[in-house]
Amino acid sequence: MKMISSKTLEKIQAGMGVFANNKYIKSVSNAMILIMTPIIVGSIFTLLTNLPIKAWTDFISKTGLVDLIKIPVSFTSNITALLAAFLIAYSLAERFNKDGLMSGVLGLICFLIVTPTGQVKINDKMISYIPFDWIGPKGLFVAILIGLLTARIYVFFIEKGFIIKMPEGVPPNVARSFNTLIPGFVTVILALFIAIIFKFSPYGSLNQAVFTCIQTPLQGLTGSYISLLIINLAIGILWFFGIHGTVIVFNGIMGPLLLSMDMQNQAAYQAGQALPNIVGMEFFRAYVFMSGTGLTIGLALLMAFFAKSKQYKILGRLVIPTSIFNINEPITFGTPIVLNPVMLIPYLAAPILSSTIAYAVTAIGLVPRINGVQLPWPLPIGISGVLLGSWKIAVLQFFMVFVSLAVYYIPFRYMDRKAYELEKAGSSYATSDSCDVSAR
């Protein structure tokens, strides 16, 4: 079943590899992964303030603990843009083998310069403040732009030698500070120039302009059903060619938008308001990535309990524990699913079908919208559903297991029969031949 020539395949993989290893994409992707830790911590505290246990909510309200529990949320989930500006600038400079720390510091400063501030009068004294609005998820897009721009300018000046060189004998830390003075001045002046331009624009600030003209339309597209299908297809196809589609598409390209939508839901959830978005990062994790990309939990169960061939029976029993914790690389490469035309359709169809069902029942209100709190991704099916807002989400997750079983059933039967016949014939090439059925 030759599907594609090896030369063409190599070209496709090389092209995708270049894109996957792009310095700018990788920098944003890494920053998004790093800020997940504070976001998850903040989400746990959000859950604590909204536990559906009346005795608990009454207790924290009466004692005033609720205001204290909200403090970690303010300085974790609500400063994601601030963290992203530093980490993106840091990561990009490191990828050019330059001083990431100074680049990160400049990225943070430039982001704050373009961020609108406010003033409030307290006891006849004017106090300046930075609204959480623009240093949280709402300012994430600006943080990405400023982080990348600052780091690139910084790297350019260092590479071209536009630095103040100190004589030998000057302590390294002092020399390091002077080396970065020129790129520091340039990036800060540029950020100030941008802030002034947008101050006198109809939007009043760069943040408002980007949020209105770019972020909101993109989030509208990302949150649509069509976008859901495109993201699923892109991730599945990349994985089929052996490229980590989840990292490239989910964490790298779409990550900031999906995360921002989750943060909007989380803020509304904390405030007891209606949740604005159906789709977000946790929507994918709840309904699409449970057991791993391709919703392979059904395939693992079929292998473990219905396989006639020893090859797939053993593989299924080995991968069920990892599938429960959303890790499916063993089944992806062990079946194999990568470069396997027999598995291509179910591997694409299972997450698309799951997304469609989840989107539809959420849109009509049968299942509540996901609250947006960020959970550790290995959290098992059912537990994650309850924490994401309702037992109904957990029930829907278990229903998706049956969807996965149905989608993978026929391809599994075909591959298992082939493997069983080879084992029955006593072929010593059973394993390699089953791979031949799948890919070459």
> pLDDT per residue over 287-343, tens digit each?
988 888 889 999 999 999 999 999 899 989 988 888 888 888 888 888 888 778 888
Quick one: tokens of 113? 């310069």
384 to each of 286, 298, 309, 388, how far by Cα in Å? 7, 18, 34, 6
Cα Dmax for the chain:
91
Q: Which stretches of the chain score pLDDT less than 70?
A: 1-20, 251-252, 427-440
22 to each of 96, 145, 217, 241, how far by Cα in Å? 12, 16, 25, 18
Rounded distance between C-alpha atoms, residue 257 and residue 141, angstroms: 8
Rounded distance between C-alpha atoms, residue 434 and residue 270, angstroms: 52
Contact of 294 with 347, CB cutoff 8 Å? yes
What pLDDT is stored for residue 33 in this prediction? Answer: 79
Q: Give the burial class of 361: count Cβ atoms within 10 A of its Cβ; 0-12 exposed, 13-18 middle, 19 or more buried.
A: middle
What pLDDT is stored for residue 283 in this prediction? Answer: 92
Check residue 148 and give left, alpha or beta (phi > 0: left; psi -120 to 50: alpha): alpha
Rounded distance between C-alpha atoms, residue 322 and residue 306, angstroms: 19
State whether residue 369 is helix, strand or coil. Answer: coil
What pLDDT is stored for residue 224 in this prediction? Answer: 85
Quick one: tokens of 149? 């721009």
What pLDDT is stored for residue 4 in this prediction? Answer: 56
Contact of 410 with 387, CB cutoff 8 Å? no
What pLDDT is stored for residue 437 in this prediction? Answer: 40
What is the secondary structure of 89-130 as a DSSP string? Answer: HHHHHHHTTS-HHHHHHHHHHHHHHHS--EEEEETTEEEEE-
Domain boundaries of the chain, sorted by first residue: 1-21+224-424
Rounded distance between C-alpha atoms, residue 245 and residue 339, angstroms: 14
Rounded distance between C-alpha atoms, residue 107 and residue 123, angstroms: 35
Beta strands (DSSP E) in 123-160 are 125-129
What is the secondary structure of 205-262 as a DSSP string? Answer: SHHHHHIIIIIHHHHHHHTSHHHHHHHHHHHHHHHHTT--HIIIIIIIISHHHHHHHH
Rounded distance between C-alpha atoms, residue 115 and residue 134, angstroms: 7
Rounded to 5°, angle at Cα 33 from 28 and 38 = 120
Quick one: tokens of 119? 């003033």
What pLDDT is stored for residue 227 in this prediction? Answer: 86
> What pLDDT digit, counting tens, does each position of 57-106 carry?
888 888 888 888 888 888 888 898 999 999 999 999 999 999 899 999 99
Please name the amino acid found at residue 428. Answer: S
Quick one: tokens of 290? 């449970």
What pLDDT is stored for residue 251 in this prediction? Answer: 67
Rounded distance between C-alpha atoms, residue 326 and residue 320, angstroms: 10
Q: φ, ψ for residue 246 (rounded to 5)?
A: -65, -40
Of 384, 329, 394, 396, nearest to 358 by C-alpha is 396
Contact of 111 with 79, CB cutoff 8 Å? no
Strand partners for 126: 121
Q: What is the pTM of this model?
A: 0.72
What pLDDT is stored for residue 57 in this prediction? Answer: 82
Rounded distance between C-alpha atoms, residue 259 and residue 80, angstroms: 10
Of 117, 109, 195, nearest to 151 by C-alpha is 109
Rounded distance between C-alpha atoms, residue 389 and residue 368, angstroms: 7
Contact of 245 with 193, CB cutoff 8 Å? no
Our CA dihedral for 269, 137, 65, 55, rounded to 10 degrees, sits at 20
Q: Give the burial class of 13: count Cβ atoms within 10 A of its Cβ; 0-12 exposed, 13-18 middle, 19 or more buried.
A: middle
Length of the chain: 440
Q: Within 13 Å, how many C-alpha atoms sit on residue 138's CB side?
A: 17
Of 110, 115, 96, 210, nearest to 150 by C-alpha is 110
